[in-house]
Structure 1
Amino acid sequence: METHILKTQKISLAAIIDTVATHDLKSELLIPYRAGTALSLDASAVERIGTPGLQLLRSAANSFEGAGFAFTITAPSHAFLSALKDAALDGANTVRTDAGTL
């Protein structure tokens, strides 16, 4: 599917993404999705992210890309990358970051 690049909304992820933060993040992710813009998430500050947060990001990536909008995760922290690996979400074509496809 063709990716539309009209403008990109940038969001910095919180240091701790637990269940409560995941709920808040979902609301924040819906804004650019409903506006039909690309999304760039800065994951450099992430110190801890739980499975619900990772699942939300995976679902968001699918939704954005399915609608033809770019979805990227930039500057993933070591903790973020470790959480992806621990949750077995580091396989090919699961989550794309500026460090490569995870």
Structure 2
Amino acid sequence: MPSLLGQVELAEVLDLTTVQQLREDLAAAIAEHNIIHIDASKVERAGTPAIQVVLAAGRDLSADNRKVVITKASDVFRAAFRDLGLDQQFSEWSEE
């Protein structure tokens, strides 16, 4: 049975070279927790594939009546969502 709260700290660079590790980290957290806090405070560069992985994780959790919370998002991470037209999704998941 999943425990209540897990945390995933995002890397400074979220691009094609790091997206597989991001997917694995989020999948492991999803398997073990009901609520995942994603600490995005260190993100200095975020590409579309990484944002897609975060979106997929959030939707997987939501489908199971679980939750993702984006914490301490850097301006770059926030802008990556905005640039993709995902302001509303960011707002729904952000604790800020």
Q: Tell me if both proteins adopt one fold, taking TM over 0.5 as the criterion.
A: yes
Identify, as 1 or 2, the structure richer in helix.
Answer: 2
SS in 2 for 1:19: coil
Q: Given the two structures, how large is their TM-score scaled by the length of structure 2?
A: 0.88
1:19-67 Cα deviation digits (max 9, x unpaired):
1211111011111212243210100110010000011111111001111
Equivalent runs, 1:1-102 vs 2, <5 Å? 6-90=3-87, 92=88, 94-95=89-90, 96-99=93-96
**Identity score, percent:** 26
Aligned 8 A contact 2:8 2:29 in 1: no
The amino acid of 1:10's aligned partner reads Q
Q: Structure 2: how far apart are the matches of 1:84 and 1:36?
A: 24
1:6-28 Cα deviation digits (max 9, x unpaired):
42111110010001211111011
Q: Given the two structures, how large is their TM-score scaled by the length of structure 1?
A: 0.83
SS in 1 for 2:42: coil
The alpha-carbon deviation at position 98 of structure 1 amounts to 1.1
Superposed structure 1 runs of 4+ greater than 4 Å apart: none
Q: CA RMSD in A?
A: 1.5
SS in 2 for 1:39: strand
